[in-house]
Amino acid sequence: MSKEANKTVDSNQDLIMCEPTPKSGKKRSWEESFSVLKAYKSVHSHCIVNRSYKDLSLAYWVERQRQNQRKGKLIQSRVEKLSKIGFQWSGSCQHKKTVEKSINPENERISEESLVALALYKKKHGDCNVPYNYREDPKLAHWVMKIRRKDKTKMPQKQKEFLSDLGFNWETYEQRKEREWNGRYMLLKEYKRCNGHFRIPRTEELGYWIEIQKALGRKGCMIPERRKKLENIGFSW
């Protein structure tokens, strides 16, 4: 099959395989449904989705992938992507009974909706950096902050792998602010080494940052370690 024909088949399958989401009624693309299935797998450790599952559209989507694969209608790249995450092509009843025993209702309640929401956020925005004041889904923003502060050694391995594969940034807000402060401090240190002074116009980013440090220092609000680092390079308040 030619590349052009493949693109046509791919496009047609996107239209055919879109399923409405249970809450909004909006349709998911194939890639979005695949992301939801990966999130499901990270919680349940398998890709068997029964029709009794709360997200009925995902259950139908999974069945449709099996049907299309058996009929030779599922393009090879998608077969490979599904196989890579351990997709069960037979969907046998015996296998369902075995894997259902591994479901942890508590894990499902806490994690699954957030994992799915994060996967869809990544699909829409291109990253996992959910703002703390994300109005569209405040629960997701809170969950992301909570996960960053969580001890990763206590997190289920499959969920940790799913988040890492998704490109999740494990850096907390506090860690990010510390990294940014140290970055500007190093720029200031280098500026002093090259120019012998700290006289940088406020209109420049580093100059504005200096004014903020001076204000914090005068108010006694600066972290002692930061104050000491600045004073060690001759910073004047």
Tokens for 237, please give them: 């308040």
Residues 156 and 190 in one domain: no
Q: Residue 181 above 70 pLDDT?
A: yes
Percent of the chain whose predicted confidence (pLDDT) is above 90: 36
Query: Mean pLDDT lowest for which of 51-55, 84-88, 173-177?
Result: 51-55
Q: Single out the residue in 166, 185, 212 at which a domain terminates.
A: 166
Contact 18, 28 (CB under 8 A): yes
Q: What's the number of domains the chain is made of?
A: 2
Give the model's confidence band at 177: pLDDT under 50 very low, under 70 low, under 90 confident, else very high.
very high
pTM: 0.50
Residues 13 and 113 in one domain: yes
| Mean of all residue pLDDT scores within the chain | 81
Phi, psi angle pair for 28, to nearest 5° = -90, 145
Q: Residue 96 above 50 pLDDT?
A: no
- The pLDDT of residue 16 is 37
Single-letter amino acid code for the residue at 54:
K
For residue 27, the cross-strand partners are: 20
Q: Over 124-168, what HEC string results?
A: HHCCCCCCCCCCCCHHHHHHHHHHHHCCHHHCCHHHHHHHHHHCC
Strand locations in the chain, DSSP E?
A: 19-20, 27-28
Q: Residue 110 above 70 pLDDT?
A: no
Domain that holds residue 215: 173-232
Q: Single out the residue in 166, 196, 220 at which a domain terminates.
A: 166
Residues 133 and 206 in one domain: no
CA-closest candidate to residue 99, choices 111, 110, 88, 84: 88
Residues 89 and 135 in one domain: yes
Give the model's confidence band at 17: pLDDT under 50 very low, under 70 low, under 90 confident, else very high.
very low
